[in-house]
Amino acid sequence: MAYKDLQEFIHKLKSNNLLIEIEEEVNKDLEITEIANRIMKSNHQNMALLFNHVKDSPYPLLINAFGSLERMSLALEVDNLKHISRDIKAFMDLSNYKTLSKQIKALPKLSRLYFSFPRKKNKGACQEVIEEPNLDLIPILKCWPEDGGRFFTLPLVITKDPETKQQNMGMYRMQVYNNKTTGMHWHWHKDGREIYDKYRKLGITKMPVSVVVGADPATVYAATAPLPKMIDEMMFASFLRKRSLPIVKCITNDLYVPANAEFIFEGYVDIDEDLRLEGPFGDHTGYYSLPDMYPTFHIEKITRKKKPVFHATIVGIPPMEDCYLALASEVIFLPLLQMTVPEIVDLHMPFEGVFHNCAITSIKKHFPKHAHKIMNSFWGTGQMMNQKLICAVDENKDIRNYQDIFWTIINNVNLYEDIVINEGPLDALDHSSKKAYFGSKLGIDATKKLHEESNYNFSLEKEYLFPENLKKESILNELQTHFSFVADIRLPQDDIYNKLLIIKIIKTTKDDIINLNDFLRKHNSLKFIKWITINDQFTDITKDWQLFWRFFNNIDAKRDLYFSDVFNNNFRFTVVTVDATKKLPIENGNRNWPNDIVMDEDIRKLVDEKWLKYGFDEEIA
């Protein structure tokens, strides 16, 4: 049975001991973020949080409701998210409808489609109270110290295409400017921006917009889902709920909104109004997204329940709550991707890749360079076009076993033949390219090679390429003798051979990388290390997750991969040095490099002091 609303889901979380209610008064500026960030990253206290007393607001606030695989499954009312993808695949499989007997068997399944259409109502709980806008009373969070202000972080933004009349429901952050206006973060590649541009082209100056905060969990998820344009998000929410989503017409415009919502913010965007500076914002990349110009949303009315709950999230250095929303999409929409690329066995986007910086796929390989075909298919499909790195492995690989995948790449990739570097669109939040929205992409073919596609002999790497049993102390001492900015090194191994060297430097100029790499690739032994990565003072190279997170975020493949050829016993080998450091403006097309997201020390101390008052265990205070 579908959840009636968000509050019924809260009760479900509570009854399953998956929610902590906090009675201590908390501040919406930074304090809630610091609490939630610790809980989201906790191994034993990662639970949903309900703050019942937010300073200067009469409304409770829910956060981290979706922040685990268990809670995400509970939100969508399945034991396993794969059950949803299985249902989608069964609906799309035409072989299920080819014979009369199969059609009869399919009737119970097809009856679900009846409930996949939203149901219009004359009134809804979301309109129990109708009032003038005053955002000062709403517990909208200031998430991070350098944020441009307070932000709606889980808004369901509803608009209508002026040509097709189809509604769209997407999730776009909204910065509060005053008690009646916010920014509307419609950037390129998003449906909201496309609809906004249509209004402009048609000369319609007032664009109706309604924003929902606090819908039932399936509807919240549907707003984040990477749906094809022709599929209405509320229809998809109804499909997930297995029951029609009740919707009601807004008070001030013709848009329809979920009748079960906690808050509705009705208003408009003035197409002729000048764009306004929005940001910075501590984003899901773990960095602050830089300020830019966006439309302004004017709120005309707020409608709500009599006793609503405000729904929010925070994003930042992963893992965070949003990772599990992305994980759900990864599982649920695999069948749709397999319709166009049937060779795909599985797909995974590691949390450290922040959804658009890394995708690992296992494939059924049938012909030479098949992996290259898969990469190009991804880069030409929907939001997958923004993927900065795609790695293809064989179908027998567990793509969630990161250690195995990592060493498969180190051992199975011929850097001369198996690396693809293309150029194309990048996510608006990518900061590593010299030009916004556009840069280079990296493809890695880590599949086993067919005889027809390569005669490269990997056994020769062990015989003539890799050094053996290098000593950290002696290498570090030698490097520091020549370069005072070298701070530390690491030599990960999966056997006796040294295939990878990780270096940490205190970077001050662009020449640091060039000079260091030139030395390394002329060194008698170090030049034979197949992979060398150079990280800066902001990275803890002892932590694998940080190395991957920096690598995925900080590289532009065309600029930051330095390939070299080395020779031994008349055999040629290709090696690479990767610059995973923060780039200076002179290296990055004069684009500013965003700051890491870090909480203020005084807020951390405050939360330390109040930790037990919140009702948590002492261990992660």
Residue 141 · residue 151 · CB < 8 Å: yes
Q: Which residues pair with 497 in a beta bridge?
A: 468
Token readout for 272 is: 């002729």
Burial of 376 (0-12, 13-18, 19+ CB in 10 A): middle
- Choose, from 283, 512, 560, 579, the residue flagged as catalytic: 283
Cα within 13 Å of Cα(396), Cβ side: 3
CA distances (Å), origin 137, targets 68, 130, 272, 310, 311: 30, 15, 29, 11, 14
Backbone angles phi and psi of 484, in degrees to 5: -70, -20
Q: What is the DSSP letter of 465?
A: I
Residue 74 · residue 89 · CB < 8 Å: no
Q: What is the DSSP letter of 262?
A: S
Distance CA 188, CA 383 (A): 11
Considering only CA atoms, which of 343, 357, 182 is closest in space to residue 284? 357
Neighbouring C-beta atoms of residue 3, cutoff 10 Å: 23
Distance CA 621, CA 611 (A): 6
Sequence-distant (≥ 6) Cβ neighbours of residue 389 within 8 angstroms? 353, 357, 358, 359, 441, 442, 443, 444, 552, 557
Considering only CA atoms, which of 234, 238, 274 is closest in space to residue 115? 238
Strand ranges (E), 326-470: 344-348, 359-363, 389-394, 419-425, 438-445
Distance CA 36, CA 309 (A): 17
Distance CA 78, CA 74 (A): 6
Sequence-distant (≥ 6) Cβ neighbours of residue 319 within 8 angstroms? 40, 41, 351
Identify the residue whose tokens are 């399919």: 106
Distance CA 387, CA 378 (A): 8
Token readout for 81 is: 């998210």
Angle between helices 217-224 and 6-15 (to 10 degrees): 110
Token readout for 437 is: 């929205």
Sequence-distant (≥ 6) Cβ neighbours of residue 540 within 8 angstroms? 546
Q: Which residues pair with 457 in a beta bridge?
A: none
Sequence-distant (≥ 6) Cβ neighbours of residue 326 within 8 angstroms? 224, 349, 355
Most distant CA pair in the chain, distance: 82
Is position 283 annotated as part of the catalytic site? yes
Neighbouring C-beta atoms of residue 267, cutoff 10 Å: 24
Residue 53 · residue 25 · CB < 8 Å: yes
Token readout for 87 is: 């249902």
Where in the sequence numbering do the catalytic residues fall?
283
